Structure 1
Amino acid sequence: MNQNITTWLVRQISSVPRWLLSIAGLVLLCGGLIIAAFVERKELAVATTFATTLLGTGILSLNLPKLFAGLIDDEREKGRLLEEKLKAERAEREAQEKLREADLEIERLERMQLSLQSFKPIANLGLLTVEMVIKDFRSKKLGPKEQKSVLGIPLGRVKQTSYMGAVEVPVKAHLGVDLHQVQIKVDAAGRLIVGGLTMSTTSDTVRGAEWQLQEVRTEKFRNDEISEIIIDPHDARLMAERDAHERQLRERISVGQSFTVFEKPLLQATREVLTSLLTPLGREIVYVDSPPSDATPLMNFLAGEQQALANRIEERRRAIGPPRS
């Protein structure tokens, strides 16, 4: 029976929280000293102090290490949980940052794609429309100088027959650059070498030719100086020479020879347009007069870049996974 009581007592004591037992030990240590101070008999006071000190010290020695060990374990567990939480938060922030960077890269690539698409509607880049009157003067000798002679003896004055024409043609011209003729190459340094920029012209005559002068004249010379001019408005050669004169002028207009004064500023404007459209590719751009022999037509080059951009965008999207809700 005594053993059962002892076992029960041990169980009851074990069920008491360690912090409460530690407080009880401290109470015994301090309380024993206080009680001993009020005991008149010295032997009883010493015995009381000894007993309470022994009991309190025993209780503290048994419970304090375990109590502190439990507190340390609790703090360690809290520290471990806090560290895991911080790691999870840091990993989440890093994942969000990577997703944000991927989204920004996709947006950048899509902007580049839109920029390249803007080339298509301006394949024939029209930069300038001019209305002007082209004037042309022509003097053409219709054979060598002539002089009548009898038996090899010159008689009369030397004559020279010529065509004289002055004409004005009002035109409206559209000047630009055909980007289909432009070629491009990426050199070993990664630069874009662009060449083949030439001015293109499309002209329309506003009105018919206006003749200020059209005549076949015969000039007579005396002492190598013109002494007389005879104009024959009915000369059979006049219409043929006038038509040839107008035809040659219109041919020069159609090939743009009359607009060369605009060529330099127009090509400069074209370079600026191309630079603004090619800049998103992130490469240095160099313009040359003649493209390299192995250059690629601009539109073919852009088609290749467009496909490469589409592939990179798709890779980025696959890398970040399905759209997030």
Structure 2
Amino acid sequence: MMTTNGLVVLLLLSGSVLVCNLQPQGAITRFHHVSLMKTWTEAQSYCREKFIDLATIPSQAANTVAQKVAGHGHVWIGLYNGSWRWSQEGKPVENWFLSNVKHNVGSRRCAVLDTYGKWMARDCDVPDRFVCSTLDNRHVLVERYMSWWDGQTYCRKNHVDLSSVVTTADRESIVKQLRLVGMLSGNDAWIGLYRGEWAWSDGKKLIYKPLESLPHWGSDCMVMDQSTGTWRSQPCQDRLSFLCYSVVKPSAVSLVKIRLVGGSADLTDPMVQESILLQLRKQLVDGGIQAEVKLRWRKHPDGEVFHREETSPSADQQEDSCRAV
């Protein structure tokens, strides 16, 4: 009896095991063009039902492959502008508040509230006053000019956080303070509303975009131009065809010959054969093989798995008998 590559090799009876490695070199991403005309959200739902998700494109190589699959014109991909949320976690972003936007938000990511109770988006680095929420659920206007991020840090250090405007009372309290000082120092201030970064529909971070793509994205969903492979933003409610993706696990099949010593066990019994396979699987795991592997017996033309050998093989033959053929 000897051990070779984690498999026990015995003598006198020979058989062959088919070894199917389901993921020898990693999974392969495949793109699928769907010609149905849908909004970005509808396309996302379709891709999640039929495949995995809208297309995620992490590299130039993947972009080239996706471009070849994309059909014609512009197609939705999985990139979208992050949703609006409050700096203070757990606070809901009410639809009635988001409907009170003063201007098109474009690519700007942080919000101010003005003396009319309307909010608008600005670049987060622009200095402005800001409003903090307190432990006793009040709103305090801070007469210091800071970026949104610095205002957030100040509020979290000295109060609770930048203010969340989730009720009419919240809005009226802030508007009243802004009107009191508005004649002297302006008519708006940072609040806690901000938008997350561009991200992929499946949750992956944006780490690549084509160099030729538009640098300023004014809408919240992304399309690929099939003719150039570049990306640009497009209103999410437009109806376009789209790219989905799936993941395929490649497989490789090897034939491994083994020899067993005949004993009292009936090697024609399917239960005995399955028991031997279980032992082989265990030895593969103990030998450090991590990939997903399936084993099954290969039958000879006469339907038998094992054939009895008339002579015992030499040591060299034993060693060679366990290689893949």
TM over 0.5: no
* TM-score for both structures, normalised by structure 2: 0.21
* TM-score for both structures, normalised by structure 1: 0.21
Structure with greater strand share of residues: 2
Q: Comparing both chains, which one has the higher relative contact order based on Cα–Cα distances under 8 Å and sequence gaps of 6 or more?
A: 2
Structure with greater helix share of residues: 1
